[in-house]
Amino acid sequence: QVQLQESGPGLVKPSQTLSLTCTVSGGSMSSSGYFWAWIRQPAGKGLEWIGRIYRSGYTNYISSLESRAVISADTSKNQFSLTLKSVTAADTAVYYCGREVEADGRSLDSWGQGIVVTVSS
Amino acid sequence: DIQMTQSPPSVSASVGDTVTITCRASQGISTWLAWYQQKPGTAPKLLIYSASLLQTGVPSRFSGGGSGRDFTLTISSLQPEDFAVYYCQQTNSLPTFGQGTRLEIK
């Protein structure tokens, strides 16, 4: 059973860069048929998909964050990362990493527990 | 972007009831739709993918249907552990989620 775990700072100052890492265990990121995604959820609100990366390094991003977000992967460490630059209070949220399964309609079958990120001076 | 509209925003029901939540896409998405359950303080859990296929380990009282623009999630014989927030997600293009439906105990 694959497991995912987010890590990174819980507090980021406005205008700075948010950097999070997701460590994958119980499975290889190099396996075909999976995408590795980031999703976020402001407190008390709904879910927002941020973007994904495939083992080839191919990425997609939601249009509203495309200019600020970068997702990268280090398959040798079985990790992928999210960098979000020029953050504001609106980026305060719980950030989840997840695995999308291509064969299952690209649904997110595995999620990390989430990490709370607050943007504040 | 494809917009997903869920209804109702919240619903109250009793243990043993049957509840149906609907999700409408702003354009046709075939069966590229998933449903998730989220309980407070935890990550969402996949229930249904490809509109009607039950994720392994999910009880059979959960069922999904629909195609094109209109989809349903039905929970039969509600159990105490089913009271949670439910989200639909389209995966036809860059994924988007519905705003959620809160299922509360009556």
pLDDT tens digits, residue range A62-95?
A: 999 999 999 999 999 999 999 999 999 999 999 9
Chain A residues within 8 angstroms (CB to CB) of chain B: 37, 46-49, 60-63, 96, 98, 100-101, 104-109, 111-114
Q: How far, in Å, CA of B86 to CA of B100, rounded?
A: 5
Which residues of chain B neighbour A96 with C-beta distances below 8 Å?
Answer: 43-44
Cβ–Cβ gap A49/B45 under 8 Å:
no
Which residues of chain B neighbour A109 with C-beta distances below 8 Å?
Answer: 46, 49, 55
Cβ–Cβ gap B97/A109 under 8 Å:
no
What pLDDT is attached to residue A2? 96
pLDDT tens digits, residue range A22-31?
A: 999 999 999 9
What pLDDT is attached to residue B11? 98
Which residues of chain A neighbour B1 with C-beta distances below 8 Å?
Answer: 62-63
Q: Tally Cβ neighbours within 10 Å of residue B15.
A: 12
- Contact assessment for residue A14 and residue A120, using Cβ atoms and an 8 Å cutoff: yes
3-state secondary structure labels for all residues of chain A: CCEEEEECCCEECCCCCEEEEEEEECCCCCCCCEEEEEEEECCCCCCEEEEEEECCCCEEECHHHCCCEEEEEECCCCEEEEEECCCCHHHCEEEEEEEEEHHHCCEEEEECCCEEEEECC
Which residues of chain B neighbour A49 with C-beta distances below 8 Å?
Answer: 89, 94-97
Determine the 3-state secondary structure of B82 from DSSP: helix
Q: How far, in Å, CA of A31 to CA of B66, rounded?
A: 31
- Contact assessment for residue B21 and residue B84, using Cβ atoms and an 8 Å cutoff: no
Q: Determine the residue of chain B that is closest to A116 in CA distance.
A: B41
pLDDT tens digits, residue range B43-71?
A: 999 999 999 999 999 999 999 999 999 99
Residue linked to tokens 């976020």? A40
Question: From the list B43, B94, B96, which residue is nearest A112 (CB)?
Answer: B43
Mean pLDDT of A34-56: 97
pLDDT tens digits, residue range B3-33?
A: 999 999 999 999 999 999 999 999 999 999 9
Question: From the list B33, B51, B87, which residue is nearest A46 (CB)?
Answer: B87
Query: Which helix (H) or strand (E) segment is B38 a member of?
Result: strand B33-38
